[in-house]
Chain A
Amino acid sequence: MAQKMTAGKRIGMEVSIAVSYAVQLSRAEAIAAYPITPQTHIVEHLSSLVANGELEAEFITVESEHSAMSASIGSAAAGARTYTATSSQGLALMHEILFIASAMRFPIVMTVANRALSGPLSIWNDHGDIMAERDIGWIQIFVENGQEAFDHSIMAFKIAEDHRVLLPMIVNLDGFILSHVVEAHELLDQETVDRFLPPLVPYHRLDPAKPVTMGAFAMPELYTEMKMAHQMALTNSYGPILEVWREWGALTGRHYQPVETYRTEGAKVLLLIMGSLGEVAETAVDELQALGEPVGLVKLRLWRPFPFEELRKAVAGADLVLVCDRALSLGGGANPVLAEVRSALYPLAVRPQVLGYTVGLGGRDVQPADFIKMLRHGQAEAKQGPSQEFFMYGVRG
């Protein structure tokens, strides 16, 4: 189906299906996945593409997510372009292996349909799953809508496989809120994607003609240096990421930035969000600007490596930034995004006040009116000095 689609034509389909077409167009060769809501539609569709011969790939129906990530490492190590997808508990079960995938520098691409972690069990959206995996050493981005999910799923392979990068990459999309909605997507034809994304050239692979030992262990004399090398690889991936996004912009007219802004010119109060909250927050900003209030919106797309300079630029001139986390750092003083933003702004001589809000946990809906309430609350708190380290918005009772 994807091959017949022509560029420029917008087609309505579920976002999960669009992601699976992106993976098909990227000519993924090995897919190892285990069922978990709300990621399932992606891998179900990929499975049927493989079953019908529309995608020349091996689909490994592993018995757990732990094995999904392990098999992904195996197939990447043997030299196949590798994709997987998961959510929530599945991502948590992969935890141990995620660090190893990035330390071994395998360009695996994974979609995470973000979902709350148990307990209590919740199949609905928040970012608790990925925030628990913040430090796994992968490139991590968030997308706002179906089109972005499609675009970034293809670009991710090109970024990950770049020999200057060689890191696995996660594309985060909000579970249900994005994964299960029907949106208009502009797909690309196979020829265009093939030109954009050449076949994988493994940096090294398991090959009897040229044997290598992968996954050897490090004594204390070497461990620190190896972690530094990993840190440098992730930090240095920034340039190649932007290159790939620019190339995509030239190809499709859809331009992406690590930090994106919406009506921030002259804005004194900024909302900062990630993922699908973007379009909702835009509506709130529009409403407030119509009332003459200097409110703008900052969207954080690139989560790892963290875009410090771009963030500082994006909030320059603002007096107050309200950071909305869809995750909770229990017992801590700042949720993950709040902590990162505060840490990025702290060295500045002049910096806005930063307040943190936890919103939209476990599928709790967030509407434009909620952002407006949050702003009013934040402005009052900022004035009198914040009464808490951060606020949990919308707690009932």
Chain B
Amino acid sequence: MDKFGSAESTKFDTYASRMMPREEYFTSGHRSCQGCGEALAVRWVCKAIGKDTIIAHATGCMEIVSSAIPQTAWLHPWIHVAFENTSAVASGIDAALNILERKGKLKGPRPKVVAMGGDGGTSDIGLQALSGALERGHNFTYVCWDNEAYMNTGIQRSSSTPFGAMTTTSPPGKKSIGQKTWKKDMVAIAVAHGIPYVATASPGYLFDLYFKIRKAVETPGPAYVHVLSVCPTGWRSATDLSVRLARLATETAVFPLYEVVEGRHRLTVEVPKLRPVKDYLKPQGRFRHLREPEIDFIQKQTLANYELLLQKCKSPFPEFAPIHLPQVG
């Protein structure tokens, strides 16, 4: 895999698709919806993490579409236990690898550990287990597939659903504009744990996603990558617009692509001239009911957040003093 570039490389634009790994670890034949941005992201994340990796997956869309007995789309060693505990399962795997390695029971290189879950499984029901695992410093990477609602159960709102979006439990009505709250900032929560690597990524920018995942898995200790996963079914968008929408999310600053290395923010995809958020909102049926005042609010709030992010990127001070624990024993 080294021929595809070191994880330290940041010159992504020198890479071409034909230079990316041809090996597939998330195979075709799974049951995801047409145009699923998440399945595309999973496929590329699986390429980036390489063969020697163990995956723990939360209950959710990607688990359901890929693992009906007796079939599986996963060529990695893969385990699903429940919805809210994937980080704890990954903790157990990491601990087992530690002791098996110390006892000389591991054959071959020590596998990397990757936990995956949807936005509900990450920012709602799985937040406690995730926080515990990040705090304990397990050597694993958590990848959040953020399709911005509980799509698997029929498009219910989560804390990651954007303001104004229509879901089956945040329906617009005479007394409601849809989702009433602003999207929970999971990335900031991850950063607040003082972990060495945190990033956002998108299937609209595959090289960026690929190298962030490589960095994440190669960083010792916990890493967190938050992947925007366009969902035509839940977002009420055309199935051939998924990559376009993923790019629009970044081009409008709704979902900026950045990384936080040892507490230092860095924008990885710079957008010379931001597009208005309505370019992103308009192709999506879930925002169809929004009127000018709400769209204006979203525009202002998005820009304000983006400005803060740019300030963080420019700041000479990291979010936290990097924690390098002394080795004992």
Same complex: yes
Contact B74 A66 (CB under 8 A): no
B97 contact set on A, CB distance < 8 A: 78
Answer whether residue B67 sits at the interface, using C-beta atoms and an 8 A cutoff: yes
A215 to B89, CA, bound (A): 12
B95 contact set on A, CB distance < 8 A: 30, 32, 58, 60, 71, 74-75, 80
- Binary interface encoding of chain B residues 136-173 relative to chain A, with 1 for a CB under 8 A from any of its CBs, else 0: 10000000000000000000000000000000000000
Choose from B71, B85, B108 the contact partner of A66 (Cβ within 8 Å): B85
A58 to B137, CA, bound (A): 13
- Binary interface encoding of chain B residues 51-92 relative to chain A, with 1 for a CB under 8 A from any of its CBs, else 0: 111101000000110011111101111111110110111111
- Binary interface encoding of chain A residues 197-234 relative to chain B, with 1 for a CB under 8 A from any of its CBs, else 0: 00000000011111111111111001000100000000
Give the nearest-CB partner of B52 in chain A: A208
B63 contact set on A, CB distance < 8 A: 217
Contact A213 B52 (CB under 8 A): no
> Shortest Cβ distance from A325 into chain B, in angstroms?
31
Contact B136 A73 (CB under 8 A): no
Answer whether residue A96 sits at the interface, using C-beta atoms and an 8 A cutoff: yes
> Shortest Cβ distance from B45 into chain A, in angstroms?
16
A216 contact set on B, CB distance < 8 A: 67-72, 80
Answer whether residue B329 sits at the interface, using C-beta atoms and an 8 A cutoff: yes
Contact A60 B136 (CB under 8 A): yes
Q: Classify chain B's interface size.
A: 35 or more
A104 contact set on B, CB distance < 8 A: 81
Answer whether residue A110 sits at the interface, using C-beta atoms and an 8 A cutoff: no
Answer whether residue A24 sits at the interface, using C-beta atoms and an 8 A cutoff: no
A57 contact set on B, CB distance < 8 A: 99
Contact A74 B102 (CB under 8 A): no
A71 to B108, CA, bound (A): 23
A211 contact set on B, CB distance < 8 A: 74-78
Stretch binding the partner chain, chosen from B14-22, B127-135, B185-193, B201-209:
B127-135
Answer whether residue A62 sits at the interface, using C-beta atoms and an 8 A cutoff: yes
- Binary interface encoding of chain A residues 37-70 relative to chain B, with 1 for a CB under 8 A from any of its CBs, else 0: 0000000000000000100111011111011101
A324 contact set on B, CB distance < 8 A: none
Contact B76 A67 (CB under 8 A): no
B93 contact set on A, CB distance < 8 A: 74-75, 77-78, 206
Choose from A29, A74, A96, A218 the contact partner of B56 (Cβ within 8 Å): A74
Contact A30 B80 (CB under 8 A): no
B105 contact set on A, CB distance < 8 A: 79
Contact A73 B89 (CB under 8 A): yes
CB contact under 8 A between A75 and B69, given known A209-B108, A214-B79? no
Choose from B54, B68, B85 the contact partner of A206 (Cβ within 8 Å): B54
A210 contact set on B, CB distance < 8 A: 77
Contact A53 B92 (CB under 8 A): no
Choose from A64, A66, A74, A79 the contact partner of B100 (Cβ within 8 Å): A79
Contact A100 B100 (CB under 8 A): no
Contact B80 A74 (CB under 8 A): no
> Shortest Cβ distance from A38 into chain B, in angstroms?
23
* Central interface residue in A68, A71, A217, by most chain B CB within 10 Å: A71
Contact A70 B75 (CB under 8 A): no
Answer whether residue B98 sits at the interface, using C-beta atoms and an 8 A cutoff: yes
- Binary interface encoding of chain A residues 82-125 relative to chain B, with 1 for a CB under 8 A from any of its CBs, else 0: 10000000000000110010001000000000000000000000
Answer whether residue A358 sits at the interface, using C-beta atoms and an 8 A cutoff: no
CB contact under 8 A between A218 and B77, given known A29-B103, A67-B132, A74-B56? no
Answer whether residue A72 sits at the interface, using C-beta atoms and an 8 A cutoff: yes
Answer whether residue B308 sits at the interface, using C-beta atoms and an 8 A cutoff: no
Give the nearest-CB partner of B103 in chain A: A56
A375 to B72, CA, bound (A): 59
A100 contact set on B, CB distance < 8 A: 81-82
A53 contact set on B, CB distance < 8 A: 329
Choose from B77, B84, B100, B132 the contact partner of A212 (Cβ within 8 Å): B77
A285 contact set on B, CB distance < 8 A: none
Given contacts A74-B79, A209-B108, A226-B69, 18 further A-B contacts (CB under 8 A): A32-B91, A62-B136, A67-B87, A67-B91, A70-B91, A71-B95, A74-B56, A74-B89, A74-B91, A75-B92, A75-B95, A78-B100, A80-B95, A80-B96, A208-B76, A216-B69, A216-B70, A217-B69
What are 15 A-B pairs with beta-carbon distances under 8 A? A60-B136, A64-B128, A67-B85, A71-B88, A71-B89, A71-B91, A74-B94, A75-B92, A77-B93, A78-B96, A97-B82, A206-B79, A212-B77, A217-B63, A218-B68
User: Which A residues form the contact surface with B (CB < 8 A)?
Assistant: 29-30, 32, 53, 56-58, 60-64, 66-68, 70-80, 82, 96-97, 100, 104, 206-219, 222, 226
